[in-house]
Structure 1
Amino acid sequence: MAAYLIGHIKVHDERLWQHYVEGVAASLEPIDARILFRGEKQADLAGTNPRDRAVVVEFADAGELGRWFHSDAYQALIPLRDRAADVMITSYG
C-alpha cells in the first residue's frame, strides 16, 4: 500500500532551501518514490497554517518511506533543512 510524506514549509533562506531541495531529489533517485506535488499556498480556507509551501511525496509503502527518511543520504540533509526553513513532515498511509 502506498505511503505519502507531506511537508509543510516556511522558507527563511531561499538559497539554502534550493540546495536542500536538490539534495532531496538526489536522495530519492535510488528508491521507488515520486514527488506528486510541490507548491506555494494560495489561501488558508479553514484554520491557519503559518507555513506557505507544501510537498507531497509518494512511496511504494511505509517501509520504503521510513528507509528513505532514516537513510544516511537524507539524514545528512537535515542540518541544511533546519537552517533553510521551518518544516513539519508527516507520513500517511
Structure 2
Amino acid sequence: MAAYIIVEVDVHNPKEYEDYKKLTTASLSGYNGKFIVRGGATETLEGGWQAKRIVVLEFPNKELAKQWWSSEEYAPAKALRQKNATTKMILVEGV
C-alpha cells in the first residue's frame, strides 16, 4: 500500500534551504520515493490554515518511507532542514 509523507514547512533561511532541496532529491532514489507536491501555491478552502510551503512525497509503502526518513542518505539534508526551517511532518498510508 502506498504511503505519503506530508510536510508543512516554514523556511527561515531560503538560501541554505536550497541546498536541502538538492540533497533531498538525491536521497530518495534508493527508497523509490518521489515528490507529488513540492512547494506549489496553496489556497485555503476551509478553516484557518495558512500554510507556508507544502510538500508531499510518495513511497511504495510506509516501511520504505520510514527507512528513507531515518537513512544515512537523508541525514545531511534533514540536518539542514531542521536548522533552516520549522517543520510539521506526518506519514499517511494511502488507499
The answer to whether the aligner puts 1:68 opposite 2:68 as a matched pair is: yes
Q: How does 1:10-89 map to 2 (within 5 A)?
A: 10-89=10-89
| Structure 1 runs of 4+ with >2 Å offset | 39-51, 75-79
Are the aligned partners of 1:32 and 1:60 in contact in 2 as well (CA < 8 Å)? yes
For residues 16 and 37 of structure 1, do their structure 2 counterparts lie closer, same or farther at Cα, with a shift above 3 Å needed? same
Single out whichever of 52-61 and 36-45 deviates more from structure 2. Answer: 36-45
Structure 2 unaligned blocks of 5 or more: none
Q: Quick check: 2:31–2:65 contact (8 Å CA) kept in 1?
A: no
CA distance in 1 between partners of 2:33 and 2:89 (Å): 16
- TM-score, normalised relative to structure 1: 0.88
Residues 6-63 of structure 1 show CA distances to partners (whole Å, capped at 9, x for unaligned) of 1101111111111001111010022211111112443333233354110111001011
- Cα distance in 2 for partners of 1:38, 1:28 equals 14
Q: TM-score, normalised by structure 2?
A: 0.86
User: Between Structure 1 and Structure 2, how many residues are aligned?
Assistant: 93
Residue 74 of structure 1 deviates from its aligned partner by: 1.4
Identical amino acids, percent of aligned pairs: 28
Residue 82 of structure 1 and its aligned partner are, at CA, apart by: 1.5
Unaligned runs of 5+ in 1: none
